[in-house]
Structure 1
Amino acid sequence: MNNAILVYASMSGNTELMATYIAEGIKEKGVQLDVKECFEVTPGDLVKYDGIIIGSYTWGDGELPDELIDFYDEMDQLEFHHKKSAVFGSGSTLYSNFGGAVDLLMEKLKERGAEIIGSPLKVEYTPNDQDEIACKDFGRLFADRLKIDSTIR
């Protein structure tokens, strides 16, 4: 089975735009994908998917945004073994910890047993044309890996 969920938090629309591009890349590869804002799901909803992608903007100097804090904490109650995961987000290089929320999410998923596919994708501010391509490629890579690993099992 090849199903995935992409959950994101976006304040200015930058991370939402990234999510849209990533979703296009995933769907292009034939993976069933649900796209939700973080307040539309609970971490417990994630366990029914083969693939989990989480995106967030970074608040301040590397912090999770308020709307993701409870979600992040509730992940401590779950196990994501055999789940393929990826993380992405937007931020500003004006801060020393560029995209720190993305790194926190990646570490949490690893801690809970998920396998991280690829490197975290971070974009400064609004995705430009090159970032759009990178986001779609990120989605395609994730989908390809999810499909390959599900055929092996």
Structure 2
Amino acid sequence: MSKTGIFYSFHTNKTSKVSEKIIEAFGRENLEVVNAEEVDEENFLKFDNYIIGVATWWDGELPNYWDEFVPAIEDLDLSGKKFAIYGLGDQKGYPENFNDGVGIFAELVESRGATVVGHTSREGYTYEGSRAECGDNEFYGLCIDQENQPRLTKGRVEKWVESLKKEFK
């Protein structure tokens, strides 16, 4: 398997918990874990495959640590690299921009030549709008709602990770 990094903020409670579930399902020995708050261009570019954790803040914004790294990403050539993106959102509390962070990040890396893998079904979610939507009935990545659907998280993570293992070969 190619070199894979998982990037998320170590200081986010819910995203960190979901990240640990992903790491456990993927196998810690198969991943390099990187704190998204400390990433730089050199460290970012050393991977072939990326698993990116991105929450959606406020009214559909990236968290500060990712938002501050966007200008650096905009200058990178990510051709040949694969990105799998997961995020947390609240489909009842923020139904008009549910998990927008996933879509914002997917659009960003695709614009730099990367391939986004790990699309998931939108079935089972109820919200008004989301930039995470792509295709007929898919999200760009794994959308988790710990506020309203915490019992579905483990199964969603395991199914997603199994698909990534095939994509990342």
TM class, shorter-length: 0.7 to 0.9
- TM-score, length of structure 2 as denominator length: 0.77
Secondary structure of the structure 2 residue equivalent to 1:105: helix
Q: Deviations over 1:12-39 (max 9, x none)?
A: 51111111111222228xx721112212
- TM-score, length of structure 1 as denominator length: 0.84
Root-mean-square deviation (Å): 2.0
Partner residue, 1:81: 79
Aligned-residue offset at 1:131: 0.9
Partner residue, 2:101: 101
Partner residue, 1:18: 18
Query: Which runs of 5 or more residues in structure 1 are unaligned?
Result: 148-153
- Larger mean CA deviation between 61-70 and 43-52 belongs to 43-52
Q: Deviations over 1:39-74 (max 9, x none)?
A: 232243222111011111111111011122111221
Which amino acid letter does the alignment assign opposite residue 161 of structure 2? G
Looking at structure 2, the residues matched to 10 and 27 of structure 1 have their Cα atoms a distance apart, in angstroms, of 18
Aligned-residue offset at 1:108: 0.7
Check the 8 A contact 1:8/1:37 in 2, yes or no: yes
Check the 8 A contact 1:11/1:57 in 2, yes or no: no
Query: Which runs of 5 or more residues in structure 2 are unaligned?
Result: 120-140
Alignment of 1:1-153 (within 5 A): 2-9=2-9, 12-27=12-27, 32-93=30-91, 94-95=93-94, 96-119=96-119, 120-125=141-146, 128-147=150-169
Between the aligned residues of both structures, percent identity stands at 27
Secondary structure of the structure 2 residue equivalent to 1:106: helix
Check the 8 A contact 1:10/1:56 in 2, yes or no: no
Looking at structure 1, the residues matched to 87 and 41 of structure 2 have their Cα atoms a distance apart, in angstroms, of 18
Task: Specify which structure has the bigger relative contact order, considering alpha-carbon pairs within 8 angstroms and separated by 6 or more residues.
Answer: 1
Q: Deviations over 1:91-113 (max 9, x none)?
A: 11121100111110111111111
